[in-house]
Amino acid sequence: MQFNPEQADPSLVYSMMIRAITPRPIAWVSTISANGIPNLAPFSYFNGLCSRPAALMFSPVNRADGSKKDTVRNIEDNGQFVVNVVPFAVAERMFKTAGDFDYEESEFEIAGLTPQPSQQIEPPRIAESPLQFECELMQIVPVGEGPLAANVIIGKILLMNIDDAVLDEMGKIDPQRVDTIGRMGGRTYCRTSDRFTL
Ligand SMILES: Cc1cc2nc3c(=O)[nH]c(=O)nc-3n(C[C@H](O)[C@H](O)[C@H](O)COP(=O)(O)O)c2cc1C
């Protein structure tokens, strides 16, 4: 079959895209509101961008009513965020933080996660994540407009916080020890425990 996104309902396009582009890593993003309330949400339109400068991107889309998600509002306000990597051990708690909570509610409390002060920026990191990127906003790139249009967040990585437990004998990050999860289509996820070498 062929699928032409121009002729389909955007909700179907979404469903086709998240089933076609797999597995996707998950940026578990912590931000802080103007009145100091920490916010957490996962985003799987996420990847690294380049290493000079060290930069990454993720893509929060607008809600169905066209409004921006809390993560975008907070980053627009203060230009800072932490991307936390998601290990299998906290998969369920990650999922909890994707709920549509009030702007004033903190997902840290709702999901039972521990906020840990960052070294260089205001938003806290997630203590339960073994890899945390402290980032400063470089650019927000709008793609489309209205409901489901994207606000691609491009961030410069100021600091990587790495739990020593995920380092190998050479002092490099061992993905096997991180036990990262990825998102497949819909509500299905994958672990990264099955590997091969090329
Ligand atoms: C694993 C996972 C990945 C997600 N990826 C995205 C994404 O890439 N872009 C997006 O806009 N929403 C994504 N969502 C939905 C957001 O997490 C959800 O809308 C959240 O409530 C946004 O929170 P906020 O308003 O606090 O920013 C994802 C949800 C889950 C569970």
Residue 95 CA, closest ligand 1 atom number: 31
Atom 19 of ligand 1, residue of closest alpha carbon: 98
Residues 6 or more apart in contact with residue 118 via CB below 8 angstroms? 82, 124, 125, 132, 134, 159, 161
198 CB-contact burial (10 Å; exposed 0-12 / middle 13-18 / buried 19+) = exposed
- Ligand 1 pocket, mutate which of 11, 44, 188 (most atoms under 8 A from CB): 44
pTM: 0.97
Ligand 1 binding residues, C-beta < 6 A:
26, 39, 41-45, 59-61, 69-71, 95, 98, 100, 183
pLDDT of residue 160: 98
The domain limits of the chain are 5-188
Q: Is the pLDDT of residue 101 over 90?
A: no
CATH homologous superfamily for 5-188? Electron Transport, Fmn-binding Protein; Chain A (2.30.110.10)
Segment 16-68, tens digit of pLDDT:
999 999 999 999 999 999 999 999 999 999 999 999 999 999 999 999 999 99
